Amino acid sequence: MINARFAAAANRIAALIYPHRCFLCDTVLPYPQTVCETCAKTLLRFREMRGALCDVCGMPLKTCCCRPNRLYEKAVFPLLYDGEAKRAVYRFKFRGRKDLAKPFAHAVANALRERDALDGIDLIAFVPMTKAAARKRGYNQARLLCEALREETGLPMEPLLTKQRANRTQHDLTDRLFRSGNVLGVYEPDEGCRSQIEGRRILLVDDILTTGATLNEAAKTLLIFGAKSVTVAVIAGVPRKKKK
């Protein structure tokens, strides 16, 4: 009883020092709310669109980005990369907001459950950064998301892949074909984890899905080394721009 009261008081003090914020739009919220009403509606709207989403690429059907060379089974995400979701991913990735891994993972896990995408998964892995890039940022956001997803789902996680060389930043490249060539051969299985790949059904985690080239390349490495299947989970999918 005393412990419970102490914990409640400690939470209130923590809320004063670190006010609760909506994980998407960053507005301060009363404890213990983690998402504001407007952003909750955004999440819900995407969830309600489920019947109108492509079961494979996860995009709204009219912007389906399925491509013939796709190697992963399907992609799952709880948000479109737009508006508040876009700004929230930016905070997570470039503004040191590591605390966002947990609410993002919660939303991702819900989306995975809704699409029965966790059924049969043996292992979770993340898209790696080069050592130099991780050192520069101080963390790999995909790894943080993966760790939080391990807590959410109870599935084991392994650092299956490494990235040996840098490719040019994806958003610097506009040509889709060039993009898909930009990531060829950059991922390798981690020496210590090779035996974990064979015969396993792997959930591969990254922050966002743009053309799918990065995730396809990482999936290819896993499949070459014997993975049974690869499913992809990200925070947000980037809607394909309309052709001019």
Using an 8 Å Cβ cutoff, are 173 and 139 in contact?
A: no
Name which of 35 and 123 has its Cβ closer to Zn ion. Answer: 35
Please state the closest distance from residue 57 (CB atom) to Zn ion, in A: 3
- Calculate the dihedral angle through the C-alpha atoms of 211, 180, 56, 78, rounding to the nearest 10 degrees: -30
Closest CA to 204 of 122, 111, 106, 126: 126
Please state the closest distance from residue 155 (CB atom) to Zn ion, in A: 25
Is residue 223 a contact residue for Zn ion (CB under 5 A)? no
Name which of 36 and 234 has its Cβ closer to Zn ion. Answer: 36
Residues 6+ apart with CB under 8 A from 139: 98
Residues 6+ apart with CB under 8 A from 54: 60, 61, 64, 66
d(CA 32, CA 5): 16
In degrees and rounded to multiples of 5, residue 84 shows phi and psi of -65, -35
Q: Give the helix, strand, coil percentages of the chain, each rounded to 5.
A: 45, 15, 40
Q: Which of residues 121-150 bind Zn ion (CB under 5 A)?
A: none
Name which of 14 and 52 has its Cβ closer to Zn ion. Answer: 52
Is residue 193 a contact residue for Zn ion (CB under 5 A)? no
Please state the closest distance from residue 182 (CB atom) to Zn ion, in A: 22
Name which of 22 and 160 has its Cβ closer to Zn ion. Answer: 22
Residue from 21, 36, 145, 231 in contact with Zn ion (CB under 5 A): 36
Provide the mask over 55-94, with x wherever binding to Zn ion is found by CB under 5 A and - wherever it is not. -xx------x-x----------------------------
Q: State the residues that interact with Zn ion by CB under 5 A.
A: 22, 24-25, 36, 39, 54, 56-57, 64, 66
